[in-house]
Amino acid sequence: MKRSAPCIPTKGLIWPELIPGTLIKRYKRFLADVQLESGKIVTAHCPNTGSMQGCCEPGRPVYLSRHDNPKRKLKYTWELIAMPASLVGINTLVPNRLIFESINAGLVPELSGYENVQREVRIGDHSRIDLMLTDASNGRCYVEIKNCTLVSDGIAYFPDAATARGLKHLNELVELTASGFRTVMFYFIQRMDANVFKPADHIDPAYSQQLRRAAEHGIEILAYDVFIDLKWIRLNRKIRCEL
């Protein structure tokens, strides 16, 4: 599918050298067997704890990175899968890093005007939030980021499996909002074929209901997609949210 140039002009994150292959299977959440173009079969680390519904179909082209760290048990990491309408980034370490850099570069208008952006900020005794933005005039803004890879008929859905952890994060944002802070739930759609974002009522109705309640309590909901190719990934455009 032909895509127009990204709406946000940023270089984004450059991929490491990518090694093409074909997905044989994903299993035990963190493992994927891939056949390389040479015919060799390798086991790669899958850096995604979700179900990956809609983007882990055996036989699909995939792209791996290779790491020579002697401490690593698995030398390969699964980075991308080619679906019919888009490449899909499956590495859940990408969203936080890319959004952090994009905010610092002033490329997310909704989150501009803050002097400092911190990652992995502790809230309470047992939790952390992805980003905290601070400014002498604007105060604090807490941002929780969710990686979204499930798209069907142009609709991006989250979650792709029931998520008690995601529900916990929503409840924490509600508490922060009640304490007077600005809070944002940021859905990072790591593919290029979505036109709208919706909570996945058909997968996790409890999460969907709480997301709507959270919005009613003042939590802001943002969704952005990406421009992605075999060289880099860039934050692209704001996606309409329908709760």
Give pLDDT tens digits for 132-179: 999 999 999 999 999 999 999 999 999 999 999 999 999 999 999 999
- pLDDT in the model for residue 111: 97
- pLDDT above 60: residue 1: no
The structural domains of the chain, with segments of one domain joined by +, span 13-89, 94-241
Fold of domain 94-241: Trna Endonuclease; Chain: A, domain 1 (3.40.1350)
How many CA atoms lie within 13 Å of 68's alpha carbon, on the beta-carbon side? 2
- pLDDT in the model for residue 10: 54
Phi/psi at 70 (5° precision): -65, -20
CA 34 to chain centroid, in Å, comes to 23
Give pLDDT tens digits for 6-21: 444 457 999 999 999 9
| Mean pLDDT in residue range 79-83 | 98
Q: Are 166 and 202 in contact (CB under 8 A)?
A: no
Q: Which of 100, 95, 106 is nearest to 187 (CA)?
A: 95
Alpha helices in 44-143 (DSSP H): 94-104
Pick the CATH number of 13-89 from 3.30.379.10, 3.40.1190.20, 2.40.50.580, 3.40.228.10: 2.40.50.580
d(CA 1, CA 82): 12
d(CA 179, CA 158): 26
Pair of tokens at residue 154: 């142009």
Same fold, 13-89 and 94-241: no
Supply the pTM of this predicted model. Answer: 0.93
- pLDDT in the model for residue 124: 77
- pLDDT above 70: residue 68: yes
The amino acid at residue 7 is C
**Cis? peptide before 47, omega within 30° of 0:** no
- pLDDT in the model for residue 6: 41
Pair of tokens at residue 91: 């590495």
Give pLDDT tens digits for 191-217: 999 999 999 999 999 999 999 999 999
Phi/psi at 116 (5° precision): -130, 145
Mean pLDDT value across the chain: 93
Give pLDDT tens digits for 26-62: 999 999 999 999 999 999 999 998 999 999 999 999 9
- pLDDT in the model for residue 126: 81
Q: Is the dihedral of CA 38, 43, 49, 54 positive or negative?
A: positive
d(CA 78, CA 83): 14
Q: Is the dihedral of CA 97, 103, 109, 110 positive or negative?
A: positive
